[in-house]
């Protein structure tokens, strides 16, 4: 029993260190909602996809921009470069996840191709929200220049729906990364069946259960339901944005380039 308590405390402490939660409050809380294995998996997820690497780049970007004269701040090329970097960092969600790496090369490729567009956009938008880049009108102006004016209402709706605990967002992203849903973006590529669908659904169910238990750990039942509802609304807004920019060269080419490079790395490994 003592060893189990020590393992739980270690997992919680690692989680606290990465998410900057009050360690004392967490360790004194009721830990029965999640099992020890679930706490450990949650801790590993927090470290395998550490948004602080992308977040630190975003924070450095904001410091650089605010140090410039007003007329020189938040121009197209610097913001475009930041978006490319934050999109690229999203590949860590896959490359460092042992559940994803345990799958066959074919299944990894199928999942990566079908889910990365959504996980990358949500992750990048979350970082831009956290560094408060979305508070500046220039950000939306640059997005309009890079994409299409019709996208702006959706982009602003996304900006209003990103106020989430980072651990909850990471759990949501990892659930999406194992999603077997075929999204409503049509192409000439024929569908390919996953070879081990039962294992993929088992992994997905594991993270869904942890997400719900973690929500109950953090909030009450009513707040947990509202949070799940908000996550789904956020996803729908992101999906609408992806559909609208699907045929626009810059975002489409950026995602395609990252997918090709990451897939080569996964294949080599």
Task: Express each pLDDT in 87-114 by its tens digit.
Answer: 988 888 898 899 999 999 999 999 998 8
Contact 172, 211 (CB under 8 A): yes
Residue 189 within any structural domain of the chain: yes
Residue 139 within any structural domain of the chain: yes
Query: Torsions phi, psi of 7, nearest 5?
Result: -65, -45
Contact 239, 118 (CB under 8 A): yes
Grade residue 251 by pLDDT with cuts at 50, 70 and 90: confident
Q: Decide: residue 14, CB within 10 A, 0-12 exposed, 13-18 middle, 19+ buried.
A: middle
Whole-prediction pTM value? 0.82
* Cα distance between the two ends of the chain: 39
pLDDT for the residue numbered 21: 39
pLDDT for the residue numbered 73: 93
Residue 38 sits in a domain whose CATH number is 1.10.565.10
pLDDT for the residue numbered 48: 74
Average pLDDT over residues 46-68: 84
**Residue 5 confidence (pLDDT) above 70:** no
Residue 143 within any structural domain of the chain: yes
Could you give the number of structural domains in the chain? 1
The more confident residue out of 136 and 188 is: 136
pLDDT for the residue numbered 52: 63
Average pLDDT over residues 156-163: 91
Residue 19 within any structural domain of the chain: no
Residue 104's domain spans which residues?
A: 33-268
Provide the mean pLDDT of the chain: 83
**Residue 18 confidence (pLDDT) above 50:** no
**Residue 266 confidence (pLDDT) above 90:** no
Short-list 227, 95, 223, CA closest to 169 = 227
The more confident residue out of 254 and 2 is: 254
**Residue 133 confidence (pLDDT) above 70:** yes
Average pLDDT over residues 242-252: 83
d(CA 162, CA 159): 6
Average pLDDT over residues 234-256: 86
3 state SS for the chain:
CHHHHHHHHHHHHHHHHHHCCCHHHHHHCCCCCCCHHHHHHHHHHHHHCCHHHHHHHHHHHHHHHHHCCHHHCCCHHHHHHHHHHHHHHCCHHHHCCHHHHCCCHHHHHHHHHHHHHHHHHHHHHHHHHHCCHHHCHHHHHHHHHHCCHHHHHHHHHHHCCCCCCHHHHHHHHHHHHCCCCCCCCCCCCCCCCCCCHHHHHHHHHHHHHHHHHHHHHHCCHHHHHHHHHHHHHHHHHHHHHHHHHCCCHHHHHHHHHHHHHHHHHHHHC
Residue 16 within any structural domain of the chain: no
pLDDT for the residue numbered 211: 94
Residue 59 within any structural domain of the chain: yes
Element (H, E) at 163: none
| Of the ranges 38-47, 134-143, 259-268, the best mean pLDDT one | 134-143
pLDDT for the residue numbered 247: 79
Short-list 255, 269, 93, CA closest to 178 = 93
Residue 20 within any structural domain of the chain: no
Residue 80 within any structural domain of the chain: yes
pLDDT for the residue numbered 33: 84
**Residue 246 confidence (pLDDT) above 90:** no
**Residue 20 confidence (pLDDT) above 70:** no
Choice among 78-82, 90-94, 183-187 with the minimum mean pLDDT: 183-187
d(CA 209, CA 197): 18
């Amino acid at each position: 029993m003592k060893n189990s308590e020590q393992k739980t405390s270690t997992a919680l402490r690692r989680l606290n260190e990465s998410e900057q939660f009050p360690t004392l409050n967490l360790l004194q809380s009721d830990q029965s909602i999640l099992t020890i294995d679930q706490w450990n998996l949650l801790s590993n997820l927090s470290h395998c996809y550490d948004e602080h690497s992308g977040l630190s780049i975003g924070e450095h970007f904001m410091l650089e921009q605010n140090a410039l004269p007003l007329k020189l701040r938040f121009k197209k090329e610097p913001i475009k470069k930041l978006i490319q970097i934050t999109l690229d960092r999203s590949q860590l969600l896959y490359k460092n996840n042992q559940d994803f790496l345990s799958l066959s090369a074919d299944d990894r490729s199928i999942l990566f191709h079908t889910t990365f567009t959504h996980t990358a956009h949500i992750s990048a938008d979350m970082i831009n929200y956290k560094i408060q880049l979305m508070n500046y009108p220039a950000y939306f102006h640059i997005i309009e220049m890079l994409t299409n004016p019709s996208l702006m209402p959706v982009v602003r709706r996304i900006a209003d729906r990103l106020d989430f605990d980072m651990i909850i967002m990471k759990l949501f992203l990892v659930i999406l990364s194992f999603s077997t849903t075929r999204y409503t973006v049509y192409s000439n590529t024929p569908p390919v069946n996953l070879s081990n669908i039962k294992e993929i659904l088992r992994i997905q169910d594991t993270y869904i259960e942890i997400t719900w238990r973690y929500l109950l750990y953090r909030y009450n039942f009513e707040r947990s339901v509202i949070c799940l509802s908000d996550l789904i609304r956020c996803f729908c807004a992101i999906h609408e944005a992806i559909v609208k920019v699907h045929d626009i060269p810059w975002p489409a080419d950026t995602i395609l380039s990252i997918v090709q490079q990451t897939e080569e790395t996964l294949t080599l490994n």
